[in-house]
A = this chain, B = another copy of it.
Amino acid sequence: MSDNDLESTQRRIIEAAGIMFAERGFESTTVRDICQEAGANLAAVNYHFGDKERLYIETVLRAHRWCIEKVKLPGWDETTPATQKLADFIITFFGRVLSDPGDVWQPRLVLREVLHPTAACAELARSSIRPEFEILNGILRELLPDDISEEELHLTAFSIVGQCLFYFFADGVIRSLIVADEYASHDVEKLARHVTNFSLAAIQARANAHQPAALLEEVER
């Protein structure tokens, strides 16, 4: 009954449920499938967790704690350049997006819940995503001109996470658009490098255009 008993029925159920919830969602996953996969009796879910929804909440909470524990940003100090922070942020983000399904299901379940919150976990979804958003905004504030509007800051942040998340939610589309070899060659480092270069180029162009922009207009007149 210990929480750390790797062979306990609860553990096996959480593991099976996590994989299936992450892959097919709450509604499309049946209690029977979970129990069969976990090698447990049909009544085990209700006995150990009360009902299916409480099992789901428990699974999402554990997945969230797992992510906080395992997928961490590296430590920064005051000498770390903002460009490095952005690169770190993006590669960490990709670590979740591209986690192997099946083996590591926790980030996928959390991402699914964040993108399409269940009523039960809506609050967790909000509270888990906001700090990351603020970290990214902080990095971008260092990279962009001081007088940038909050709105443009947010649009820039959305552009970055949008690029990353695309590989998560459009995985099937990507697989059908490019040849198998190219798809297989996608990995965290390569994709993170592309998104970092692409975004930094756009950000630095925006930063450089800030002051000279007025001058250029003068010239054109």
| Interface set of A (CB-CB < 8 Å, partner B) | 27-28, 114-117, 125-126, 129-130, 133, 150-152, 154-156, 158-159, 161-167, 169-170, 172-174, 176-178, 182, 185, 191, 194-195, 197-199, 201-202, 204-206, 209
Contacts and interface: CB of A to CB of B under 8 A. Distances in A.
A163 B170 contact: no
A177 B130 contact: yes
Contacts of A152: 194
Contacts of A133: 177
A53 to B, nearest CB: 15
B27 A173 contact: no
A174 to B, nearest CB: 7
Number of identical monomers bound together in the oligomeric complex: 2
A105 B174 CA distance: 24
SS of A interface (majority): helix
A27 B28 CA distance: 8
Contact of A165 (B114, B125, B162, B201): B162
A8 B201 CA distance: 55
A162 B158 contact: no
